[in-house]
């Protein structure tokens, strides 16, 4: 499929991720509204540019292709005549494999991008992009907090929350200053107080001493300080958003661990084992309610192993069935009491053609094959010349097979985020946020199911095109 689409996908994906991740800290911690909005819009513009770059790069590469065609092309062997299976049998398993770090980084970046987009939308909806108009006028005139006398109280209401202390709300007239004619200047505020307000008492307000005619806002540094400084939300909400983001990061790491594990599994040693086997084609590993896609590998002693990989029937060439290859796995995690003794262990398939596929192997299968497996270090001791191997990684060419609707949804998501940086009040703010969240979730679903959207193998991958 060529290196250009893979390189373009990696660069544009990285640009989009960096731009997206930068929005949340700018929204939470930049206190100047105008520079904050400008910086966020620039970041979102870079994200939108990455979406456009993906579309242009795909057109330059020849247009969209089914994932099945991309996956089958990854099996094309070094032996150009005869296709897969034409190479001579390899007597030794390799000591060094192509690293799977790029697979792991790409998966982690995808998980982080989805969770960051959703948490950012939540923060944009919950926050205020700028100070309220009244507060802005007071701030421009030199805002200060002060305890001012109460002249009149009305509409007093007692609130009894299910948790916490009772509090009062009221409509209160307060005296701010004395005008030039000797008449007092007053303002009407709506304070929230733990004690019942009364005439002659005092309440805390925010006002501009130089311009008392602008009125006042009820509150103190605790309730109005963050908004006065230009913050989009109070400390409590910042903590909620931060904890949600941290939870998303943890879930992303857990997802990476379940799908790929953490090790690179690139240099095989004494603790790694290998067995010679024959591929039976795609299938499913199933136990109770669990079901996972796999390649079935049968050994010379008729033991069947299930190499866990996301492969459907139209993702592999027909010639793969019956092909001889090496199955290698990390045997340390299969030991009794090991950290992953109840789950899976990193594994790799190495074909005689030179392609290497990373995946996972169920620990039960690994223990079953341990009797006929050999230590990679001992088996490869006589293999002095390293083989030229290449990584089977069709997902690195994701730019070629993602649906056009994914790019449209990404643009909608970016547009909703940009709108939320402006002062959209009331229900429309939540409508915009929900629309962005729906676009983001749909984008994630379509991108995840893209490899399985094509059920029929293209003719050229079956060798039937004449």
DSSP structure string for 330-361: E-GGGSTT-TTTTSEEEEEEEETTSEEEEEEE
The DSSP secondary-structure symbol of 397 reads G
All residues at 6 or more sequence positions from 334 whose CB lies less than 8 Å from its CB, including other chains: 341, 345, 363, 366, 367, 370
How much is the pLDDT for 79? 40
Give the tens place of pLDDT for each residue, 3-35. Answer: 888 999 999 999 999 999 999 999 998 888 889
Give the tens place of pLDDT for each residue, 223-263. Answer: 787 777 778 888 888 999 999 999 999 999 998 887 777 87
Q: Tell me the whole-structure pTM to 2 decimals.
A: 0.78
Counted residue by residue, the chain has a size of 466
How much is the pLDDT for 385? 64
Segments of the chain scoring below 70 in pLDDT = 1, 77-87, 162-163, 178-182, 333-342, 380-385, 453-466
CB-based contact 324:352 (threshold 8 Å): yes
């Amino acid at each position: 499929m060529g290196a250009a689409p893979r390189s373009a996908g990696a660069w544009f994906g990285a640009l989009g991720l960096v731009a997206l991740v930068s929005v949340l800290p700018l929204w939470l911690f930049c206190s100047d509204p105008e520079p904050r909005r400008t910086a966020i819009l620039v970041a979102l513009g870079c994200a939108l540019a990455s979406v456009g770059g993906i579309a242009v790069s795909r057109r330059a590469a020849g247009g969209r292709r089914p994932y099945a065609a991309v996956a089958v092309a990854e099996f094309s062997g070094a032996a150009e005549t005869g296709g897969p299976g034409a190479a001579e049998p390899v007597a030794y398993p390799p000591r060094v494999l192509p690293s799977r770090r790029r697979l792991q980084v790409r998966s982690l970046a995808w998980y982080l991008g989805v969770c960051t987009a959703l948490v950012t939308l939540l923060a944009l909806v919950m926050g205020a992009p700028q100070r309220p108009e009244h507060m802005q006028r007071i701030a421009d005139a030199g805002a200060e907090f002060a305890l001012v006398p109460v002249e009149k109280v009305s509409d007093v209401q007692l609130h009894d929350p299910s948790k916490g202390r009772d509090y009062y709300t009221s409509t209160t007239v307060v005296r701010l200053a004395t005008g030039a004619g000797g008449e007092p200047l007053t303002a009407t505020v709506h304070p929230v107080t733990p004690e019942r307000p009364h005439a002659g008492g005092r309440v805390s307000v925010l006002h501009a001493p130089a311009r008392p005619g602008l009125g006042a806002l009820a509150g103190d540094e605790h309730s109005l300080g963050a908004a006065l400084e230009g913050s989009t939300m109070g400390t409590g909400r910042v903590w909620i958003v931060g904890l949600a983001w941290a939870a998303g990061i943890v879930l992303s790491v857990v997802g990476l661990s379940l799908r790929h594990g953490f090790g690179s599994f690139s240099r095989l040693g004494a603790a790694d084992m290998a067995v010679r086997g024959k591929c039976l084609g795609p299938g499913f590993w199933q136990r109770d309610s669990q079901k996972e896609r796999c390649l079935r590998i049968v050994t010379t002693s008729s033991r069947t192993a299930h190499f866990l990989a996301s492969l459907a029937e139209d993702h592999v060439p027909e010639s793969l069935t019956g092909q001889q290859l090496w199955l290698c796995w990390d045997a340390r995690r299969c030991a009794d009491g090991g950290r992953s003794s109840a789950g899976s262990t990193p594994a790799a398939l190495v074909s005689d053609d030179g392609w290497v596929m990373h995946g996972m192997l169920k620990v039960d299968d690994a223990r079953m094959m341990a009797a006929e497996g050999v230590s990679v270090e001992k088996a490869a001791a006589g293999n002095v010349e390293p083989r030229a191997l290449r990584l089977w990684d069709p997902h690195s060419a994701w730019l070629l097979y993602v649906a056009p609707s994914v790019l449209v949804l990404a643009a909608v998501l970016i547009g909703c985020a940009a709108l939320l940086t402006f002062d959209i009040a009331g229900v429309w703010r939540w409508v915009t946020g929900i629309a962005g969240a729906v676009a983001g979730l749909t984008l994630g679903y379509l991108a995840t199911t893209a490899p399985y959207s094509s059920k029929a193998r293209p003719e050229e991958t079956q060798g039937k095109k004449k």
